[in-house]
Amino acid sequence: MLDPNPPLRPVHRPGGYLRLEDLGVIGDGGTVALVGTDGSIPWLCLPHFDADPVLAGLLDNERGGHFTVTAQDLREARQHYVPDTAVLVTELRTTTGLLQITDAIVVRSGADLTDDTPAGRAELVRSARVLDGTIRLDIDLRLRDGGQTNAALDGLEIRSSRRPELRLHLRASRLLNSLPVTFDLREGEHVDLVLSWGRIHRHHRFDAEDMLATTADAWRRWMDHFTYRGPQEPLVRRSAITLKLCDDWVNGAMVAAPTSSLPAPIGGVRNWDYRYAWVRDAAFTVFALRRIGFGNEADAFLGWVLDAFEQSRQPRIMYTLDGGPVPDEVADAGLEGYRGSAPVHWGNGAADQRQHDVYGEVLDCAAQWVRGGGELQPALWAKLRGLADTAESAWREPDQGLWEIRNDGRVFTYSVGMCQVALDRAAALGEQLGLPAPIDRWRASAAKLTRRILDRSWDEKAQTLSAHLDGGGVLDASLLALPLRQVVPATHPRMIATTAAIAQRLSAGDGLLYRYLHQETPDGIQGDEGAFVLCSFWLVENLIHQGQLGPAHDLYESLCARTSPLGLLSEQIDPTTGGFIGNFPQAFSHIGIIASGVSLARATPGAAA
């Protein structure tokens, strides 16, 4: 259960870095900032999610840069969100007093968070107020490259030497001539700060309280659309807001996570840039959002996927937020990496991989688009039809699979399953809309692929479906997604046996699952990794569909208990420590909270999702 009033706790900085569990996220549909329990902001990319970060202290606490508002002699801290908003409150206890910092990236007055125009005013507001006693307040803003700070008439102007086109403007409710600066404050006194970028409006009213109030109001009005009633409702509400924070409100895309190169595990080299939009995320995201009342976001993401696909010469597994190609992957030697976990990467080398699941992902999005009332123009249908024809034969060829392995490909069972999805959805679309298509052939091919999966990937000795179509009993948690994509019924005896095998053999303990075992399935990358959070939520859904509501409910509750005090989740969890690893917050993990909660609510007598 999400605690609305968490206790004050000591601030931990292992290796000089905050734990991921001790970070909150704020945003405006264009970018996000991560805010620590120590009052620091160690991550901010401007002006967009996938831009070069101006604050990257998360990846190098000495050279990365930060925007810090904190109290000297800090002893304990805690964070909470203003309910149903992305306005974050941090409280810091010292030996002499209690400081409250309220943070938000501003949403303009009157915004409803569903407009297709930029909702942000390109301003980050920080309001620090002494609640009790006295506080010595330290303020500092240091860009990743140091930058140049000059006094202006109403504050400070900060320019980045790496990006001369980017101008930052810092205003304060007290005189601000230079940085760092210290203020001695008593109970009731406060300092307000506003960091602006993009187009600077020097003459609009400086009113931090109003900025925070209108931002909170916009978020609450967006949450009026929330319809879920079921297990862990406060956490599902927070997950909805977290997904909205990962949403590009202008383009309709959604980043997999708003960070790059957070390692899994600490000290490892599995450090990737997730600030892009994966096509495979769309179907899962849309399915989850639509079921809790957010059809506008669902439709926007579906439309973005179909637009990006239609404009591409060939389908890509991921795109930039504006639908372009993802930059080549490069290592940044200038940053040491989170807790010393090099390399830091920008761009993503998996963008050009062969991954056959993309055929099914795109056609599943098209099917959901039509189901929601959308239309398919002839030119788009022609490309979708070609995609189905390609899937009919491509399944035989090795690919890099759902998990984007970086060695020679295999014929992954999940990829074959998604080729089945492509054929099934294409046949349904052709029949429903009366479109020119070989509907009977596609249906027959889809049925054959299901039979191939059940026959050729089945290992009689291990009593499980296998990660690869040649069998062998090697397990992969992606098999749990086959029922969710309607490839194999969850109640099929071989799927029931596979679910049990995965729960046992891929277990990382206490309900956590590995994606696969690296000694059985080498992926071309050094080292092991942690437990992948979404896989455990897939297990929850399989148990629900198999009628095991008690175990499903218990597993769901245990997973929800692993969220941070703010209700956030990372990509993976270190099974030895329970700590967060991988990029953060991870959209997939929050999709799992929502989708499993909806499924549990619908399967439980007397409950309503």
Instruction: Give the model confidence (pLDDT) of 339-366 as tens digits.
Output: 999 999 999 999 999 999 999 999 999 9
Q: Which amino acid is at 476?
A: D
Kindly give, in sequence order, each residue whose CB lies less than 8 Å from that of residue 44, ignoring residues fewer than 6 positions away: 31, 32, 33, 34, 53, 54, 55, 67, 124
Q: What is the pLDDT of residues 138-159, one digit of tens each?
A: 999 999 988 888 888 789 999 8
Cα 243 to Cα 2: distance, rounded to the nearest angstrom: 17
Cα 162 to Cα 509: distance, rounded to the nearest angstrom: 45
Q: Assess contact for 530 and 265: CB atoms under 8 A.
A: yes
Report how far apart, in Å, the C-alpha atoms of 324 and of each of 244, 307, 590 are.
21, 11, 26
Q: Please identify which residue in the block is written with the tokens 């620590």.
A: 36
Q: Please identify which residue in the block is written with the tokens 């639509």.
A: 290
**Peptide bond connecting 53 to the previous residue in cis, omega within 30 degrees of 0:** no
Across the strands, what pairs with 155?
Answer: 152
Report how far apart, in Å, the C-alpha atoms of 541 and of each of 162, 482, 490, 491, 583 are.
47, 11, 9, 12, 24
Cα 89 to Cα 92: distance, rounded to the nearest angstrom: 10
Instruction: Check whether 90 has a pLDDT greater than 90.
Output: yes
Q: Assess contact for 29 and 247: CB atoms under 8 A.
A: yes
User: For the stretch 3-13, what's the b/e string if a residue is b when 16 or more beta carbons lie within 10 angstroms of its beta carbon?
Assistant: eeeeeeeebee
- What integer is the mean pLDDT of 89-94? 98
Kindly give, in sequence order, each residue whose CB lies less than 8 Å from that of residue 471, ignoring residues fewer than 6 positions away: 456, 457, 458, 459
Q: Which amino acid is at 485?
A: R
Across the strands, what pairs with 71?
Answer: 137
Kindly give, in sequence order, each residue whose CB lies less than 8 Å from that of residue 195, ignoring residues fewer than 6 positions away: 67, 123, 124, 125, 126, 141, 168, 169, 170
What is the pLDDT at residue 120? 42
Q: What is the DSSP string of 164-201?
A: TT-EEEEEESS---SSSEEEEEETT-EEEEEEE-SS--
Instruction: Check whether 49 has a pLDDT greater than 60.
Output: yes
Structure tokens given for 146: 């140091």
Structure tokens given for 213: 């109030």
Instruction: Check whether 560 has a pLDDT greater than 60.
Output: yes
Per-residue pLDDT band at 586 (split at 50, 70, 90): very high
Q: What is the pLDDT of residues 262-289, one digit of tens each?
A: 999 999 999 999 999 999 988 889 889 9
Longest CA–CA span in the chain (Å) reads 77
First-to-last alpha carbon distance for the chain, in angstroms, is 18
**Peptide bond connecting 522 to the previous residue in cis, omega within 30 degrees of 0:** no
- What integer is the mean pLDDT of 26-52? 97
CA angle 238/483/508 to nearest 5° reads 65
- What integer is the mean pLDDT of 29-58? 97
Domains of the chain: 9-223 (2.70.98)
Kindly give, in sequence order, each residue whose CB lies less than 8 Å from that of residue 429, ignoring residues fewer than 6 positions away: 363, 366, 367, 370, 376, 381, 384, 435, 437
Cα 505 to Cα 514: distance, rounded to the nearest angstrom: 9
Across the strands, what pairs with 422?
Answer: none
Q: What is the 3-state secondary structure (H, E, C) of 124-174?
A: EEEEEEEEEEEEEEEEEEEECCECEEEEECCEEEEECCCCCCCEEEEEECC
- Return the SS3 of 544: helix
29: left (phi over 0), alpha (psi -120 to 50) or beta: left
What is the pLDDT at residue 118? 42
What is the pLDDT at residue 303? 93
Q: What is the pLDDT of residues 421-458, one digit of tens each?
A: 999 999 999 999 999 999 999 999 999 999 999 999 99
Cα 69 to Cα 293: distance, rounded to the nearest angstrom: 37
What is the pLDDT at residue 205? 67
Reference 123, options 220, 56, 192; nearest CA is 192
Lowest mean pLDDT among 51-55, 75-79, 129-133, 312-316: 312-316
Q: What is the DSSP string of 383-417?
A: HHHHHHHHHHHHTTS-B-TTTT-SSS-B-BHHHHH
- What integer is the mean pLDDT of 77-87? 98
DSSP category for residue 446: H
Kindly give, in sequence order, each residue whose CB lies less than 8 Å from that of residue 131, ignoring residues fewer than 6 positions away: 91, 97, 98, 99, 100, 187
Residues belonging to the chain:
609
User: For the stretch 338-361, what's the b/e string if a residue is b when 16 or more beta carbons lie within 10 angstroms of its beta carbon?
Assistant: bbebbbbbbbbebbebebbbbbbb
Query: Which H or E run contains 425?
Result: helix 413-433
Kindly give, in sequence order, each residue whose CB lies less than 8 Å from that of residue 427, ignoring residues fewer than 6 positions away: 388, 437, 439, 442, 443, 446
- Return the SS3 of 107: strand
Kindly give, in sequence order, each residue whose CB lies less than 8 Å from that of residue 547, ignoring residues fewer than 6 positions away: 491
Across the strands, what pairs with 9?
Answer: 77
What is the pLDDT at residue 109? 52
Kindly give, in sequence order, each residue whose CB lies less than 8 Å from that of residue 97, ignoring residues fewer than 6 positions away: 71, 130, 131, 132, 133, 134, 135, 187
Instruction: Check whether 404 has a pLDDT greater than 70.
Output: yes
Sheet with strand 580-581: strands edge to edge: 531-532, 572-573, 580-581
Q: Assess contact for 69 and 288: CB atoms under 8 A.
A: no
Helix axes 413-433, 357-371, angle to 10 degrees: 30
DSSP category for residue 48: S
Average pLDDT value for the chain: 94
Burial of residue 289 (number of CB atoms within 10 Å: 0-12, 13-18, 19+):
buried
Structure tokens given for 158: 């900060």
- What integer is the mean pLDDT of 379-391? 96
What is the pLDDT at residue 111? 53
Lowest mean pLDDT among 133-137, 147-151, 193-197, 390-394: 147-151
Instruction: Check whether 113 has a pLDDT greater than 80.
Output: no
Instruction: Check whether 61 has a pLDDT greater than 70.
Output: yes
